[in-house]
């Protein structure tokens, strides 16, 4: 194998599994160390630069970082990365003085942003400080999009939304609430320099089975029903409620129904429990509130009596798999099941709806009615129109919308400065040696045995009485410090200098994971098999360095390294060095980069 090029930005980035998995590439270990040091404002600003909505995401993120967490190499539960993000938001000081200032002079370029959700707000956050006049159009009176209208207040209070949307609008962004865009052709005719579409996936899927029309008065589309609650149009529901669907919207619906009078609330899903699209913690929260989840049931028809809904009949199915592992649901042969109910909430998915975009203006759509969007630049086939968030690729989550917004802002800035939008800026990378030795560590290297700490919850009886009472109370400072201590500091990398090595094997002896091997070189597949501990995870690269006096190579399996630093502490010649790798994505003009205050 050839020497590993550790100067390539992606090499150590990929080793920081949490940051690599985050669509916005937030420097997770860096802000967790700051939280452990009780430097909450600094931790918040690191988050704000990359993911824009730390307080919102600290309550609602789908947490793609956590399944990737290296902590799961030593136990079953990852670090509570998402809930620590909320800690930074909850305990920060007033950070407004550290935010970018509105542009002193506009640059004469006007950007129209359709939809006031996280994607559009991110674009505006990145472009407004550069002097662009960003105008957000939304049919609702306040900014936030689905963050405000479809996430229940018991999960995300309005005060958090107001604060973090306000930080963006205060950059000189114009918000035109209550102004719906009904024609892209008309919008383009107004002479905007660029248009960004971040209107989400606003249409919930319906269920066209017998009885739907006859009992329509008590069958509700889930996302519309949640919006009606947010706007105060709905404040009650029947005593018996059936929720159809297995995603996060279904979990929000069933928990909301419990708070609005639903005494018997059932979630019914066509798939198995493990195949449900809802996040595991969302399912746990629902069941904690006494809501059962029934699986492998397919709705056949709504039962009704003279237009009054009486229940739903389901067919019991089972999963069968073909030789290629593809699943098929087939009747189990068991009797149908009938669930009596007064109301049904249909939460079986969302769809994009673009009736307002004319098909003769240069924006191409695919066979599913989705715009053709470049996933790297977020550009459509119209030179001035960009898409992001759910409007670009269908329903995902807030953190993906933020990532799309950053990329679209780069493209718009390059386009309007006559540059190639395909020429993407490289991230900023720093490598900083850390202090080593007894009593001189600049970061905590102990691998604590603590299990994941639970987030305190409001008493269930109290929570179910008030639909606006936030259920999760968040970590206090003590719990936050303890949970932060579970982080393995995966961004502090082991850097090897072969010319300093005397091949004493002290590092091999002390390594608790047997991840360092000095051996003869070879092809990767063969070499992986004869390391001290065979390297079986092919998605994680090996760290290889030659130049040793014996002709051997040093090979380290990055997959199982705990970043404990014992190799560097034990090395008598300094051949091993612990260096903090800090990667920060570059955004449009770097306009939003806050003053860096390192955790080291």
In this predicted model, what pLDDT tens digit does every residue of 352-378 receive, in sequence order? Answer: 889 999 999 999 999 989 999 999 999
Using 50, 70 and 90 to split pLDDT, how confident is the model at 166? very high
Backbone φ and ψ of 53, nearest 5°:
-125, 65
Do 340 and 366 fall within a single domain? no
Do 459 and 565 fall within a single domain? yes
Do 433 and 567 fall within a single domain? yes
Q: Domain tally for the chain?
A: 3
pLDDT exceeds cutoff 60 at 438:
no
* 183-191: long-range pairs with CB below 8 Å, 24+: 183/356, 183/358, 184/356, 184/357, 184/358, 184/361, 184/363, 184/385, 185/358, 185/361, 187/112, 187/114, 188/361, 188/384, 188/385, 190/112, 191/110
More confident residue, 441 or 199: 199
Pick the last residue of a domain from 390, 415, 440.
415
Do 403 and 462 fall within a single domain? no
Q: What is the mean pLDDT of the chain?
A: 94
Pick the last residue of a domain from 365, 380, 415.
415
| Calpha distance 129→132 (Å, rounded) | 7
Backbone φ and ψ of 525, nearest 5°:
-60, -40
Residue pLDDT, tens place only, 510-534: 999 999 999 999 999 999 999 999 9
Asked whether residue 279 is domain-assigned, the answer is yes
E-state strands within 166-259: 174-177, 194-197, 203-204, 219-221, 240-244
Do 294 and 216 fall within a single domain? yes
Q: What's the pTM value of the predicted model, to 2 decimals?
A: 0.94
| Calpha distance 589→409 (Å, rounded) | 9
Provide the pLDDT for residue 266: 98
Residue pLDDT, tens place only, 462-475: 999 999 999 999 99
Whether the Cβ atoms of residue 491 and residue 33 lie closer than 8 Å to each other: no
Asked whether residue 597 is domain-assigned, the answer is no
Sign, CA dihedral 45-285-264-395, equals: positive
Residue 178 belongs to domain with CATH number: 3.50.50.60
Provide the pLDDT for residue 470: 97
Do 437 and 509 fall within a single domain? yes
Provide the pLDDT for residue 584: 86
Do 360 and 344 fall within a single domain? no
Do 135 and 234 fall within a single domain? no
Do 388 and 457 fall within a single domain? no
Report CA-CA distances (Å) from 225 to 316, 419, 534.
28, 45, 53
Do 275 and 366 fall within a single domain? no
pLDDT exceeds cutoff 80 at 425:
yes
Range of the domain at 117: 99-202+353-415
Q: Provide mean pLDDT across the span 234-256.
A: 97
Provide the pLDDT for residue 595: 47
Asked whether residue 378 is domain-assigned, the answer is yes
């Amino acid at each position: 194998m050839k020497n590993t090029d550790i100067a390539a930005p992606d090499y150590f980035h990929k080793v920081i599994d949490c940051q690599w998995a985050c669509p916005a590439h937030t420097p997770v270990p860096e802000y967790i160390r700051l939280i452990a040091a009780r430097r909450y404002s600094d931790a918040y600003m690191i988050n704000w630069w990359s993911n824009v909505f730390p307080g919102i995401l600290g309550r609602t993120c789908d947490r793609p970082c956590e399944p990737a967490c290296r902590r799961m190499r030593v136990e079953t539960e990852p670090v509570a990365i998402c809930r620590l993000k909320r800690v930074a938001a909850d305990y920060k000081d007033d950070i407004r003085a550290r935010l970018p200032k509105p542009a002193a002079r506009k640059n004469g370029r006007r950007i129209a942003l359709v939809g006031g959700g996280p994607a559009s707000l991110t674009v505006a956050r990145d472009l407004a400080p550069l002097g662009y006049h960003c105008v957000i159009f939304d049919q609702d009176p306040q900014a936030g999009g689905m963050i405000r209208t479809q996430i229940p207040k018991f999960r995300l209070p309005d005060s958090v939304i107001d604060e973090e949307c306000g930080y963006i609008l205060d950059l000189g962004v114009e918000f035109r609430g209550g102004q719906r865009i009904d024609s892209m052709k008309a919008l383009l005719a107004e002479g905007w320099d660029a248009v960004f579409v971040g209107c989400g996936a606003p249409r919930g899927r319906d269920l066209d089975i017998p009885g739907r029309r006859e009992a329509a008065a008590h069958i509700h589309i889930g996302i519309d029903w949640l919006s009606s609650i947010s706007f105060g149009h709905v404040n009650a529901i029947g005593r018996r409620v059936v929720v159809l669907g297995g995603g996060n919207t279904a979990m929000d619906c069933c928990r909301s129904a419990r708070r609005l009078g639903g005494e018997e609330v059932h979630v019914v899903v066509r798939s198995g429990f493990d195949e449900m699209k809802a996040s595991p913690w969302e399912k746990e929260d629902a069941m904690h509130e006494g809501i059962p989840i029934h699986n492998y049931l397919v709705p056949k028809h709504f039962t009704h009596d003279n237009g009054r809904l009486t229940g739903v009949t389901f067919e019991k199915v089972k999963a069968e798999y073909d030789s290629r592992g593809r699943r098929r649901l087939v009747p189990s042969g068991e009797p149908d099941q009938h669930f009596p109910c007064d109301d049904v909430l249909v939460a079986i998915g969302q769809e994009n709806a673009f009736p307002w975009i004319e098909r003769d203006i240069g924006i191409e759509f695919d066979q599913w009615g989705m715009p053709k969007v470049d996933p790297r630049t977020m550009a459509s086939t119209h030179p001035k129109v960009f898409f992001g968030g759910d409007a670009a690729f269908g329903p995902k989550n807030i953190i993906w919308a933020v990532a799309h917004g950053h990329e679209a802002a780069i493209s718009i800035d390059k386009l309007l400065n006559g540059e190639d939008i395909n020429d993407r800026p490289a991230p900023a990378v720093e490598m900083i040696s850390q202090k080593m030795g007894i009593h001189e560590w600049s970061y905590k290297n102990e691998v604590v045995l603590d299990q994941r700490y639970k987030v305190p919850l409001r008493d269930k009886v109290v929570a179910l009485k008030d639909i606006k009472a936030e259920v999760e109370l968040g970590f206090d400072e003590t719990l936050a410090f303890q949970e932060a201590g579970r982080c393995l500091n995966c961004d502090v990398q082991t850097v090897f200098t072969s010319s300093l090595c005397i091949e004493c094997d002290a590092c091999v002896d002390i390594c608790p994971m047997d991840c360092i091997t000095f051996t003869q070189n070879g092809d990767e597949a063969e070499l992986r098999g004869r390391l001290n501990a065979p390297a079986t995870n092919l998605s994680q690269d090996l760290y290889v360095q030659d130049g040793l006096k014996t002709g051997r190579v040093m090979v380290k399996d990055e997959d199982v390294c705990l970043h404990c630093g014992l190799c560097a502490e034990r090395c008598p010649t300094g051949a091993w060095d612990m260096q903090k790798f800090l990667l920060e994505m570059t955004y449009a003009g770097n306009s939003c980069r806050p003053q860096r205050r390192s955790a080291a």
